[in-house]
């Protein structure tokens, strides 16, 4: 359960000078609680650190409030030293769910969670040949491409957007499936799927055209089949300043901000 008061704050930071300096100042001013006993985790760094922090504390139910000490900072709030407890008390909560990716190879099945996206990539110069099924029904017999990804709404403005996939509102009950450099069918631009869909991607000609599967930063190579579903039983709590929520940022991204 998310607490309503924020007396115990746990700080985490990336290894950059800016983040480490901020960590020292804030820990001295507000203390630095153990994460297991914290009312909130404050992450100091960039979007990469925010993702790492969410992965490390997936099941803790401790809300995470990021402050930007990195570059882009799409998942983070502005950095300020003053009034942190007050900002936490006023922050708006966003709940997101990760994807569960099950990758099959010659050794069996391997699982990993993804907050942004699960992706398949060609490992060599040969393009992938993939067969795509949704909820047990084959929807595409053969996709020739560099890869394909399944994105959450939270991840839809990341790699998915770079691959020309759609931006999804944060609360939309949808997943985005987006091809990476599709060759055949050339005009296919992807699909919007219900968030309770089970996506199965089979690798055709895996010996000739080896494929890797990646869930955020966890990679499995030489896969023959990948299954992706939303893990609705895991709640990740993110905190944002009023007027600068993730929903607002995703909406603004569609209008070029």
Could you give the residue range(s) of every CATH 2.60.200.30 domain in the chain? 99-230
Provide the pLDDT for residue 190. 96
pLDDT of residue 2 exceeding 80: no
Mean per-residue pLDDT, 68-79: 88
How many angstroms separate the CA atoms of 189 and 70, rounded? 32
Residue range 115-173, pLDDT digits in tens: 999 999 999 999 999 999 999 999 999 999 999 999 999 999 999 999 999 999 998 99
Mean per-residue pLDDT, 73-93: 93
Phi and psi torsions of 29, nearest 5°: -80, -40
CA angle 23, 50, 103 (to 5 degrees): 145
How many angstroms separate the CA atoms of 247 and 111, rounded? 29
Average pLDDT, the chain: 93
Could you give the residue range(s) of every CATH 3.40.50.10330 domain in the chain? 9-97+234-253
* Active-site residue (options: 47, 105, 128, 216): 47
The CATH superfamily label for domain 9-97+234-253 reads Probable inorganic polyphosphate/atp-NAD kinase; domain 1 (3.40.50.10330)
**Contact between 223 and 105 (Cβ < 8 Å):** yes
Bridge pairing between strands 147-151 and 64-68: unpaired
Determine whether domain 99-230 maps to CATH 2.60.200.30: yes
Residue range 24-56, pLDDT digits in tens: 999 999 999 999 899 999 999 999 999 999 999
Global pTM reads 0.89
Provide the pLDDT for residue 248. 87
In the numeric block, which tokens belong to residue 245? 């929520």
3, 25, 23, 2: which is closest to 12 by C-alpha? 23
Dihedral, CA atoms, 183, 185, 190, 193, nearest 10 degrees?
-140
pLDDT of residue 21 exceeding 60: yes
Active-site residue flag, 135: no
């Amino acid at each position: 359960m998310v607490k309503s008061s924020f007396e115990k704050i746990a700080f985490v930071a990336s290894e950059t000078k800016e983040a480490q300096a901020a960590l020292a100042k804030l820990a001295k001013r507000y203390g630095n609680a153990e994460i297991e006993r914290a009312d909130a985790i404050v992450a100091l760094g960039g979007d990469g650190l925010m993702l790492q922090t969410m992965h490390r504390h997936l099941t803790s139910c401790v809300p995470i409030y990021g402050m930007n000490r990195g570059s882009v900072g799409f998942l983070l709030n502005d950095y300020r030293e003053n009034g942190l407890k007050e900002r936490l008390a006023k922050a708006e909560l966003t709940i997101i769910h990760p994807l569960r990716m099950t990758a099959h190879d010659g050794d069996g099945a391997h699982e990993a969670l993804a907050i942004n996206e699960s992706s398949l990539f060609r490992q060599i110069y040969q393009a992938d040949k993939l067969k795509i099924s949704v909820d047990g029904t084959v929807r595409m017999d053969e996709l020739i491409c560099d890869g394909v990804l399944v994105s959450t709404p939270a991840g839809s403005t990341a790699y998915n957007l770079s691959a020309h996939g759609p931006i999804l509102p944060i609360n939309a009950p949808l997943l985005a499936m987006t091809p990476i450099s599709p060759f055949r069918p050339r005009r296919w631009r992807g699909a919007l799927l219900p968030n309770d869909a089970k996506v199965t991607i089979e690798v055709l000609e895996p010996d000739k055209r080896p494929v890797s599967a990646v869930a955020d930063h966890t990679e499995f190579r030489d896969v023959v089949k990948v299954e992706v579903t939303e893990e609705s039983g895991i709640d990740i709590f993110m905190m944002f300043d009023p007027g600068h929520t993730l929903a607002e940022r995703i909406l603004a991204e569609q209008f070029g901000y």
